[in-house]
């Protein structure tokens, strides 16, 4: 029988920093314009975390079904279904339940702001939300799982950057603006960097399993150059926002100190491979939250 510890492990709590970061970032940008709803923030936070957990559960099941976790070359933590701690049937039910939960929370969130944003906007966001649920499930599940076709980085960028950040901003402010675009792109680049570390760690295993990722296509050496580009562009995005919207006073740039963290990681990963890259997943995920918190304080 699966224990609570098994399910908590399957949720992969270390990945949730990014989901939390996206909601904090979108809300802090709204706060800087004098617009903020506690209820909207809480609902958006629950939605983002739930969607991430849905993605993690579906990923666990999908990789098991495709044999990616059973090649004998896996470098990451033991998966729930792979280890037998949770059966495939139980995981299927969990994915369905989480998908329904995400849909319910998303619907409640949209209904809570329907008078402020209008029915048309609600319907558009409802469609985007349905696509987000499908994207969370279809990363590794199904015959056409995009995570096995080299599209993982693109979807990670979109659904952990622009979509949740701009979406949260819109739900708080009730209008669209260019202001959240640069920070949302920056956060999307961090999410892509996190996935790239994961894929660099698993290059050997993914090649054996026939899983196509940008890292497996580039090879480890070029994947590290790609990672450098992601980090540099992330820094440029946040700095560009400050140059455009928050040029003074000096403390608005305090968040730049947090850039030392990913730069340190960047230097270290050049001498690492395989399982030795695993600790940098949690560290980079934590950095996303650290950056967003300091950035949010700096701009407000």
Peptide linkage before 249 cis (omega within 30 of 0)? yes
Largest CA distance in the chain: 58
Pick left, alpha or beta for residue 174 (phi over 0 → left; psi -120 to 50 → alpha; otherwise beta). Answer: left
**N-term to C-term CA, the chain:** 49
According to the model, what pLDDT value does residue 1 have?
A: 67
Does residue 74 have a pLDDT over 60?
no
Residue 286 contacts residue 17 (beta carbons within 8 Å): yes
CB atoms within 10 A of CB 114: 11
pLDDT at 114 (0 to 100): 94
Which range (14-28, 46-60, 67-81) has the least confidence? Answer: 67-81
Other C-beta atoms lying within 10 Å of the C-beta of residue 143: 6
Say yes or no to pLDDT of 194 above 90.
yes
Instruction: Specify the pLDDT at position 63.
Output: 86
Look at residue 69 in the predicted model and tell me its pLDDT: 61
Condensed to tens digits (0 to 9), the pLDDT of residues 152-169 reads 999 999 999 999 999 999
Residue 149 β-bridge partners: 212
Q: Give residue 152's pLDDT.
A: 94
Could you give the percent of the chain with pLDDT greater than 90?
Answer: 78
**Residue 60 near residue 91 (C-beta atoms within 8 A):** yes
Write down the pTM of the prediction.
Answer: 0.93
Residue among 123, 116, 141, 125 nearest 63 (CA): 141
Per DSSP, the three-state class of 23 is helix
Cα atoms found within 13 Å of the Cα of residue 240, Cβ hemisphere only: 15
Contact 19, 48 (CB under 8 A): yes
- Contact yes or no for 238/183 (Cβ under 8 A): yes
Q: Kindly indicate the confidence band of residue 146, based on its pLDDT and cuts at 50, 70 and 90.
A: very high
216: Cα within 13 Å, side-chain hemisphere: 21
Average pLDDT for 89-95: 95
How does the average pLDDT of the chain come out, rounded?
92
């Amino acid at each position: 029988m699966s224990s609570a510890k098994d399910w908590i492990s399957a949720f992969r709590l270390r990945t949730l920093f990014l989901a939390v970061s996206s909601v904090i970032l979108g809300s802090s940008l709204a706060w800087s314009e004098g617009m903020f709803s506690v209820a909207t923030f809480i609902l958006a936070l629950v939605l983002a975390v739930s969607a991430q957990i849905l993605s993690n559960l579906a990923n666990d099941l999908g990789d098991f079904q495709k044999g990616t976790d059973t090649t004998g070359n896996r470098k990451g933590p033991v998966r729930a279904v792979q280890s037998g701690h949770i059966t495939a049937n139980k995981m299927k039910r969990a994915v369905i339940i989480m998908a329904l939960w995400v849909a319910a929370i998303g619907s409640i969130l949209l209904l809570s702001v329907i008078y402020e944003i209008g029915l048309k906007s609600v319907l558009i966001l409802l469609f985007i939300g349905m696509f987000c649920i499908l994207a969370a499930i279809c990363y590794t599940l199904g015959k056409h799982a995009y995570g096995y076709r080299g599209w993982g980085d693109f979807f990670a960028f979109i659904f952990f950057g622009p979509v949740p950040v701009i979406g949260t901003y819109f739900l708080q402010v009730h209008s669209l603006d260019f202001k959240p675009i640069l920070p949302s792109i920056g956060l999307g680049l961090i999410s892509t960097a996190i996935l790239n570390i994961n894929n660099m760690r698993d290059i050997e295993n993914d090649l054996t399993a026939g899983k196509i990722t940008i890292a497996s296509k580039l090879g480890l050496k070029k994947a590290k150059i790609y990672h450098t580009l992601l980090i540099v562009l992330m820094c440029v995005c946040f700095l560009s926002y400050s140059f455009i919207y928050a040029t003074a006073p000096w403390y608005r740039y305090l968040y730049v100190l947090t850039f030392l963290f990913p730069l340190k990681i960047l230097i270290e990963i050049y001498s690492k491979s395989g399982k030795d890259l695993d600790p940098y997943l949690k560290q980079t995920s934590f950095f996303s939250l650290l950056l967003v918190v300091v950035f949010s304080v700096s701009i407000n």
